[in-house]
Amino acid sequence: MKRRILIVSGAAIAAVAAAGLAVTKPWTWQPLDLSKITSPAQAALILDCGGGSAADAGVYRFPLAADDIPERVRQAFVAIEDARFYRHAGLDLWRIGGALLADIRAGEAREGASTITQQLVKLTHLSGEKTLARKAQEAWLALGLERVMDKDEILAAYLNTVYLGAGAYGVEAAARVYFGCGANGLTLPQAATLAGIVKAPSRYAPHLNPDKALERRNLTLQAMAENGYISEDERDEALSAPLGLNMSERTGRAGWYVDAALEEACAALNISSDELMSGGYRVYTALDPALQASADALFADPARFPEASDGAQCESALVAMDVNTGEILCMEGGRDYAVRRGFNRAVQMKRQPGSAFKPVSVYAAAVDMLGCTPITLLDDTPREYDGYTPSNASGQSHGTVTLRQALVKSMNQATVNLLDRVGIDAARLYAQKLGFTLNDADRSYALGVGALTDGVSPASLCAAYCALANGGMAVAPHTVRRVEDSEGREVYAFSSGVSRALSDVSAYLLTDILRDAAANGTAKALAAVPVPVAAKTGTVGETDGGNRDAWTVAYTPSLAIAVWMGCDEPDKHELRQGVTGGSYPARLAAAFLADNASRAGGEFVQPAGVERALLDSRSLRGDIAFPMLASGDTPAACLLNEALPVGSAPKQASTLWKYPTQVETVYVQSDGAGRPLVSFVAPDSVSVWRVMRASDADWTEIARLEGKRGDYLTFTDQDAPDGAVRYAVIARQKYFEELGQIIDAAPSDETPLLGATLFERLFGTA
């Protein structure tokens, strides 16, 4: 059986070698370059928008001479990575054969068989692609390296080059990062911990996955014992030791941003983070150091953040973006940056957006597809849809409102009723056009209030609002502009262009409404920002009165910002009831934009398809519900300068502010029960009719009647006194009265004085 295994292994190795030679041209392979080994390529360099180094990439490299690397460290790495290192010539044929057999049994490629020598040439000379051609070249370079360097030199170069997570290259850097000491101060368990990281730093780094790191460390200790490097007693003692990390807090500059850029670059190049960090790449980003410093300062101030209802610290995220390109200019992925490549809330978290989703779904579809305008009248009353009845946060309904009012005041009932007109599929379509990926389950009317199955990230929400700022062009949020390899060759350039999501007219109308929201609505905390700003808030509540999520998204003509606040475990902690999107998040967004007013300035440019019309705002209320232009009589308090699509403005001038008309004749007769029935014909539609009664010389208002011109109005005087009385009616301008101005017409002619005899004759009673 053993002989058969050897034959199969040898045949498999030969097949791999033949395949490698068949798919590539060996004479095109790069030669062995010892300078790349003795002076390894620079670690990944992250550059900001000006080409300066974003030094917080967190790269650490402290090469050691071969004699300065402790024996225990060398033994740990050899035991777990290449136990036959000192017995092969660069390729371990036994290990290759075993790996191939394991792959055959598994039916897929699972086992690695690279020696330390192969790993070193891969790290210094080759890409991370998994092809037979690359493996063949790796083997050829490894054999060549073994001919010009001895084993100790190769091992030392490897231990100075290998990436061990947390930005640490080589054992000296890793010892300092994880344990606060040099390599010569490492204990046996600590040395084994570092050796265990090599296989997959993102999986076995002890600060990211301590349980997996411990398992891997213990596996390394077992391998050291099996290979005779340590005794069983030493192994058992080391197995019982804790990880014992001693990592100093490394907040640094732009940590969250750099993490996101590295993730993006890895995805673009289709390589692992370990390969990127050790490959000498130059990653050119859109990071704006001034904006990042501003965000860092705000996040360093605990007074800008609320506590959870139980006193726990809440979390937050911030993303700022160029509205025209979608380039992320700065970000904060959390309150504290303590763990590199940790959970980045700015780009990795998805939460319910609440009302912040309305403009980029329901209202975008209503304005762009249905042709709704800011003065389209909506119904803000509760209706039931498939068992779902939305309610407003205030608990009040507002009846007939304009689309502008509904969005500025974030009325849920009006929005869901509008969604019914727009259609759920249309609202989903516009959300998708603006960059969101929605779950198929999101086909209910709850979509109107931003209740989504999967939620959205701050970055995706910020990017959607960029389209409102830039004239309707959807942008893709990104941090990386381009990437160069260690030779200076461009290997990636961001090229995902913008696309039309809605018309420039629709984008401008929505922006004009959201500027109102920032001045007078739920986002009024931004009213004092010294540049033109539009904004929308969102709050996701709990049934017990607390809140899960609080959002503000704001934008200027050049800059967009999204701020989220909440708790990582909303089922355990929640925001206090008063913490809404319009409170802490809006104030933080306002502070950021105010601090960076020179960067965020400009003017929202009105497109040719939009005109301004001077309207009578009183004509938009529910009792009128007929939009009219302002007239010469419209008071200043009711002038509304509204943005409308060209040609859509009302044609009729307001008739609401005419002088009240005097009632000419008032009649009194019996109501059939012996009580006076006062009646008259309304001569206009702008008055409220004051029914007056006089006993002797004193006149008293006993009723107010409303109606339109030509209506026959009546009033029964239930409390008529027995003495002599007379009646009159005075027309009062009702719309001016709402403004505190009293304009009365002359009283009508008085009815005859009615004494006891006259009452008896007219009404049949005295």
Largest Cα separation within the chain, whole Å, is 138
Tell the residue number behind the tokens 């060398």, with chain if given: 74
pLDDT at 371: 97
Range of the domain at 635: 610-645
Give the separation between CA 469 and CA 472, rounded to whole angstroms: 7
Compute CA distances 404 → 192, 270, 608, 649, 755, whole Å.
Answer: 65, 46, 21, 15, 57
* Residues 726 and 631 reside in one and the same domain: no
Question: Residue type at 266?
Answer: C
Indicate whether 652 belongs to any domain: no
Indicate whether 84 belongs to any domain: yes
Neighbouring CB atoms inside 10 A of 528's CB total: 10
Among the ranges given (63-72, 73-82, 107-116, 218-227), the one the predictor scored with the smallest mean pLDDT: 107-116
Segments in 372-423 forming alpha helices (H):
403-408, 412-422
Give the separation between CA 145 and CA 88, rounded to whole angstroms: 13
Answer for the pair 715, 703: CB distance below 8 angstroms, yes or no. yes
Judged against a pLDDT cut of 70, whether residue 763 lies above it is answered with no
Q: Which two tokens stand for residue 657?
A: 């502010």
pLDDT at 38: 81
Judged against a pLDDT cut of 90, whether residue 166 lies above it is answered with no
* Residues 182 and 147 reside in one and the same domain: yes
Judged against a pLDDT cut of 60, whether residue 4 lies above it is answered with no
From 330, 307, 339, 332, select the one nearest 317 (Cα to Cα): 332
pLDDT at 5: 34
Write the DSSP symbol of residue 9.
H
* Residues 97 and 194 reside in one and the same domain: yes
* Residues 146 and 103 reside in one and the same domain: yes
Tell the residue number behind the tokens 């997959």, with chain if given: 200
Answer for the pair 728, 750: CB distance below 8 angstroms, yes or no. yes
Select from 239, 257, 281 the last residue of a domain.
Answer: 239
φ, ψ at 715 (rounded to 5°): -150, 130
Compute CA distances 551 → 153, 238, 587, whole Å.
Answer: 56, 49, 11
Write the DSSP symbol of residue 460.
H
Select from 452, 480, 500 the last residue of a domain.
Answer: 452
Helix, strand or coil, per DSSP, at residue 112 = coil
Give the separation between CA 100 and CA 110, rounded to whole angstroms: 9
* Residues 13 and 145 reside in one and the same domain: yes
pLDDT: is 585 or 313 the higher one? 585
From 321, 556, 590, 339, select the one nearest 460 (Cα to Cα): 321
| CATH of residue 124 | 1.10.3810.10
Give the separation between CA 299 and CA 633, rounded to whole angstroms: 52
pLDDT: is 656 or 576 the higher one? 656
Whether residue 506 lies in the annotated active site: no
| CATH of residue 727 | 2.60.40
**Based on the structure, what is the number of domains in the chain?**
4
pLDDT at 37: 84
Residue range 719-743, pLDDT digits in tens: 888 778 899 999 999 999 999 999 9
Band of residue 44 on the pLDDT scale cut at 50, 70, 90: confident
Tell the residue number behind the tokens 């992320």, with chain if given: 328
Judged against a pLDDT cut of 90, whether residue 127 lies above it is answered with no
Judged against a pLDDT cut of 80, whether residue 439 lies above it is answered with yes
Residue range 592-632, pLDDT digits in tens: 999 999 999 899 999 999 999 999 999 999 999 999 999 99
Residue 151: left (phi > 0), alpha (psi -120 to 50), or beta? alpha
* Residues 25 and 102 reside in one and the same domain: yes
Identify any residues that bridge with 308 across adjacent strands, giving them in sequence order.
575
Band of residue 695 on the pLDDT scale cut at 50, 70, 90: confident
Answer for the pair 317, 334: CB distance below 8 angstroms, yes or no. yes
Q: What is the mean pLDDT of residues 17-37?
A: 64
Helix, strand or coil, per DSSP, at residue 676 = strand
Q: What is the mean pLDDT of residues 157-173?
A: 90
Indicate whether 519 belongs to any domain: no
Judged against a pLDDT cut of 60, whether residue 766 lies above it is answered with no
Q: Which two tokens stand for residue 103?
A: 């792959």
Give the separation between CA 298 and CA 594, rounded to whole angstroms: 12
For residues 547-584, one letter each, b for 16 or more C-beta atoms within 10 angstroms of the residue's C-beta and e for the rest, the string is: bbbbbbbbbbbebbbbbbbbbeebeebbbbeebbbbbb
pLDDT at 697: 74
Q: Which two tokens stand for residue 365?
A: 């579809």
Write the DSSP symbol of residue 218.
H
Sheet holding 676-681, edge to edge: 667-670, 676-681, 712-716
pLDDT at 13: 46
| CATH of residue 404 | 3.40.710.10
Answer for the pair 468, 511: CB distance below 8 angstroms, yes or no. yes
Band of residue 285 on the pLDDT scale cut at 50, 70, 90: very high
Whether residue 355 lies in the annotated active site: yes
Q: Which of 9, 81, 506, 748 is catalytic?
A: 81
Answer for the pair 362, 419: CB distance below 8 angstroms, yes or no. yes
Burial environment of residue 696 by CB neighbours within 10 A (0 to 12, 13 to 18, 19 or more): exposed
> Model pTM?
0.76
Q: What is the mean pLDDT of residues 408-425?
A: 98
Indicate whether 654 belongs to any domain: no
* Residues 621 and 714 reside in one and the same domain: no
Indicate whether 373 belongs to any domain: yes
Compute CA distances 403 → 108, 484, 666, whole Å.
Answer: 59, 49, 43
* Residues 641 and 752 reside in one and the same domain: no
* Residues 234 and 115 reside in one and the same domain: yes
Answer for the pair 24, 136: CB distance below 8 angstroms, yes or no. yes
Dihedral sign for Cα atoms in the order 719, 725, 728, 734: negative
Q: What is the mean pLDDT of residues 383-410?
A: 95
* Residues 115 and 164 reside in one and the same domain: yes
Judged against a pLDDT cut of 50, whether residue 111 lies above it is answered with no
Answer for the pair 333, 317: CB distance below 8 angstroms, yes or no. yes
Indicate whether 289 belongs to any domain: no
Indicate whether 396 belongs to any domain: yes
Band of residue 129 on the pLDDT scale cut at 50, 70, 90: low
Q: Which of 114, 273, 355, 361 is catalytic?
A: 355
**How confident is the prediction for the chain on average, in pLDDT?**
89
* Residues 630 and 713 reside in one and the same domain: no
* Residues 736 and 621 reside in one and the same domain: no
Residue range 316-341, pLDDT digits in tens: 999 999 999 999 999 999 998 876 67
Beta strands at 282-285 and 480-484: parallel, antiparallel or unpaired: antiparallel
Select from 452, 467, 501 the last residue of a domain.
Answer: 452
Residue range 565-602, pLDDT digits in tens: 999 998 899 998 889 999 999 999 999 999 999 999 89
Instruction: Say how many residues make up the chain.
Output: 766
Indicate whether 630 belongs to any domain: yes
